[in-house]
Amino acid sequence: MERKTANKSGKKGKKPNTSDRQKSDACEDPDRFQRLFGFQLTDLQSWRRFVCLMSRPTDPASLAFTRFIFADVRWGDPEQCHFPLFDWLQPLPVQWMIILYFLMLIGAAGIMLGAVYRVSCLLFLLPYWYILLLDKSVWNNHSYLFGILAFLLTLSDANRYWSVDGLFNRNIHNADVPLWNYTLLRSQVFLVYFVAGLKKLDIDWVTGYSMQYLASHWVFEPFRLVMTNDEVDYFVVHLGGLTIDLFIGFLFFFDKTRLLAFIFCSSFHLMNSQLFSIGMFPWVMLATQPLFCYANWPRPIFRRIPRAMRLLTPDDDDTDTQPSSHCIYPKEYVKPEMTPDVRTAAPASRQRTPPTRPSLRHQAAAIFSIIFLLWQMFLPYSHFITKGYNSWTQGLYGYSWDMMVHSRNLQHIRITFVDKDTGQQGYLNPELWTRSSRWGSHPDMMQQYARCIASNLRKHDVNNVELYFDVWISLNKRFQQRTVDPRVDVLHADWSPFRSTTWMMPLLVDLSDWRTKFTEITESLNNNTEFVEVVFVADFPGLHLENYVHPDIGYTNITVLKGKVVVEVLPEEEDQSVPSADNVTLLEGQSTQIPGGRFHNVYTVSDEPSCYMYIFTNTTEARFLEGLKEFELLMNGTEDTSKVPEKFAKDPNLDRYKEVLEAKAKERQYAEKKLSEMAKDVVQFIHSRTVRSFRMIKGAMKSIVMSIPFHSILEEINTSENEQSFSTPVL
């Protein structure tokens, strides 16, 4: 809430100016509590006073700044699988999806300029939420936040200052906005941080297992001067992230700590922009920081601009704002001449009289503010209702603010289909109809993917199928284990959003303490050679893992850490001399070697879950790196890979050697580029993407208007671009 607010003016009939309203309350004299929090306790003692507080007139300048800064082809394959929140939501044809993005662009431009503001907000908001709800596999907390901020801006009066609408409509130009406009935006941003901090109280985050191997990134170089990588991972990444999320919102709220909040929060988001590929999220959060400042903070900055240069900035010579019917004013503010005779005055004149008591509109705004904030506090913890979306973690990823708390490492996915009509069994490439692997962690998405696969198989005359998924994932450095029961036909399995999913396998949390031993085991093995990879696996009694060892892996060993397993090495299909598989039973501490180029099964036969580890030694990769080192030495640093030393003329890895050296040469060239050359590359990239985008928009319109298949237009665009790239001289 605005911490220093409108006060009685002391002179009857005189409107308090912006600075007066920043220092006093609309109904009461300021006291210590008000100076600290921006409102009085008495403002919460009655419904009328609360409505008055929510509709208190507030400077529109900071809200306009947020509006301006905020606004600053995966749908093309008909067989591509999507994961909508509601199954009846389906993507439009690709040309119409392009038009939707174009409408969003127009809406974003309108929001930024404050032009036809409400319409612009809807042009952005409605397509955005439609596209967001179309595919849960691309959800994250950031995309959800953008949709919420767009919704709140749609409801706000953010076009009252520095807007095109204000230039043409003097009734809203530089007009007050109700305090709830700021309250909702500030509260939403506060909740993003604070709830994220509460979620980081998870034991995995507090003990340092959520984020992996970040300390080696260059942004942590200053910390590595005095700390080890493990210490950076724990104290800076985990405990530092927890502290910032929990307390940064409170630091923003108070005057004396706000500068400190700006420093820590800006550093936090700038580092995140380099650490993660999270799009515009760091920059949007940076843009929301000024919301916590006084609402009139942009005015002194704009006043410093000479009048002759104020072409694109607001004319801020007038320090006073005009009243708005969306706010509630103290009676002392209303001049006698501002109160027309209701018997003779025109309706428009009566409407311009500043309200002094709550109307239905003001009360509705207050009710909505309460409901919205309660909903935003409840939603991240609503997973006890939507049990069907729960698995190892609670609910759908995207609205819970559990950012970075859960780190998944996907090891293996196997999709088996059985044609019930013929009994034929086959395997499918997990990436055949989706580029996302997030579905493997969520039961609702698993069943959606199963239905999509069945639909696509029907196009290939496979009409009656069963589908079985075997997905292996490690959560926060735990054992690799199954997420779903591989014996259940997911296509026909029972699922409800309000009931727990019985065919999902539980997370083996009792084995979490093994993580402390993983590092010791891995480090002891890596002391012998750098080409060793260790994979820790846990499985349930009565199940088995089917695996294949690539021939390039020179040595593979299985060692049992807990429980009892039977390892079955299957014969090669073309080897008819081997009558049956080789079986070996392993107890805790025992191991066996697995030959390369063969399938094998690992059966868990103990009464408790088994734990074992694979030790892979990639001797082929070791030989390649040795050859690469010698090849690079003989080439003597030259970038001309056409002249090959005679020793390597028949080396089967020659092409790979050349590719690696060419890639290194490009990296050196990039590192040696001047800042001006890098800026030129960025500008050229943005220009090419912009030109292509508008070509796609033009093509989509042409396809719709002239009923031309869009794929043919897309071929024309690609052909034109290829011809242009060949004809463009290389500078």
Tell me the pLDDT tens digit for each residue of 466-475. 999 999 999 9
Same domain, 528 and 542: yes
> Does residue 569 have a pLDDT over 50?
yes
Question: What's the pLDDT at 31?
Answer: 67
pLDDT of residue 205: 95
Q: Are 284 and 277 in contact (CB under 8 A)?
A: no
* Residue 448 resides in a domain: yes
The pLDDT of residue 288 is above 90: yes
Task: Considering the candidates 200, 477, 562, 564, report the single residue annotated as catalytic.
Answer: 200
On whether residue 251 sits in a domain, the answer given is no
Structure confidence at residue 322 as a pLDDT band (50, 70, 90): confident
User: Does pLDDT of 426 surpass 50?
Assistant: yes
Q: For 508-540, what is each residue's pLDDT tens digit?
A: 999 999 999 998 888 888 766 667 889 999 999
Distance from C-alpha of 125 to C-alpha of 109, rounded to nearest angstrom: 13
pTM, to two decimals: 0.83
Q: Which of 617, 638, 653 is the last residue of a domain?
A: 617
Q: What is the dihedral of CA 371, 374, 379, 380, to 10 degrees?
A: 160
pLDDT at 730 exceeding the cut of 70: no
Radius of gyration of the chain (CA): 32
Q: Which of 617, 635, 662 represents a domain boundary (last residue)?
A: 617
Asked if residue 264 is part of any domain, the answer here is no
Given a contact cutoff of 8 angstroms between Cβ atoms, the answer to whether 557 and 615 are in contact is yes
What is the token pair recorded at 400?
């819970």
**Quick check: 641 pLDDT over 60?**
no
Q: What residues make up the domain containing 637? A: 622-671
More confident of the two residues 359 and 22: 359
- Does residue 391 sit within a domain? no
Q: CATH code at 531?
A: 2.60.120.10
What's the total number of domains in the chain? 4
Residues 65-89 have pLDDT tens digits of 787 777 654 445 566 788 899 989 9
CA distances from 715 to 157, 695, 699 (A): 45, 12, 10
- What is the distance between the alpha carbons of residues 240 and 227, in angstroms, rounded to a whole number? 14
**CA atoms within a 13 Å half-sphere pointing along the CA-CB vector of 37:** 11
Q: Tell me the pLDDT tens digit for each residue of 94-149.
A: 889 999 999 999 999 999 999 999 999 999 999 999 999 998 888 888 889 999 99
If asked whether residues 412 and 493 sit together in one domain, one would say: yes
Question: CA angle, 148 as apex, 145 and 150 as ends, to 5°?
Answer: 110
Distance CA 147, CA 292 (A): 20
CA-closest candidate to residue 631, choices 620, 644, 640: 644
List pLDDT tens digits, range 608-627. 999 999 998 887 777 788 88
Asked if residue 650 is part of any domain, the answer here is yes
For residues 612 and 521, state if they share a domain: yes
- Predicted local distance difference test score (pLDDT) of residue 52: 87
Residues 6+ apart with CB under 8 A from 17: 319, 320
Q: Which of 57-61, 429-433, 570-574 has the lowest mean pLDDT?
A: 570-574
The reported pLDDT for the residue numbered 14 is: 44
Banded model confidence at residue 343, pLDDT cuts 50, 70, 90: very low
Instruction: Verify that 444 and 498 share a domain, yes or no.
Output: yes
- The mean pLDDT value of the chain amounts to 84
Comparison of pLDDT for 280 and 187, the residue scoring more: 187
Percent of the chain scoring above 70 in pLDDT: 85
The burial of 565, by beta-carbon neighbours within 10 Å (0-12 exposed, 13-18 middle, 19 or more buried), is given as buried
Mark which of 445, 475, 507 sits at the end of a domain: 507
Is residue 634, in this structure, part of any structural domain at all?
yes
For residue 428, the cross-strand partners are 415
Same domain, 466 and 530: no
Q: How far is CA 481 from the centre of its chain?
A: 26
The pLDDT value recorded for residue 249 is: 94
In this structure, the answer to whether residues 522 and 612 fall within a common structural domain is yes
Environment class of 480 (CB within 10 Å of its CB; exposed 0-12, middle 13-18, buried 19+): buried
Question: Do 534 and 611 share a domain, yes or no?
Answer: yes
Q: Are residues 416 and 496 in the same domain?
A: yes
Q: Look at residue 6 in the predicted model and tell me its pLDDT.
A: 40
Q: In this structure, are 519 and 613 located in the same domain?
A: yes
Of 330, 372, 376, 374, nearest in space to 354 by CA: 330
Q: Are residues 501 and 419 in the same domain?
A: yes
Residue 92 lies in a domain: no
Q: Active-site residue 200, yes or no?
A: yes
Residues 559 and 643 in one domain: no
Residues 555 and 631 in one domain: no
Does 607 reside within a domain?
Answer: yes
The mean pLDDT of 233-239, rounded to a whole number, is: 94
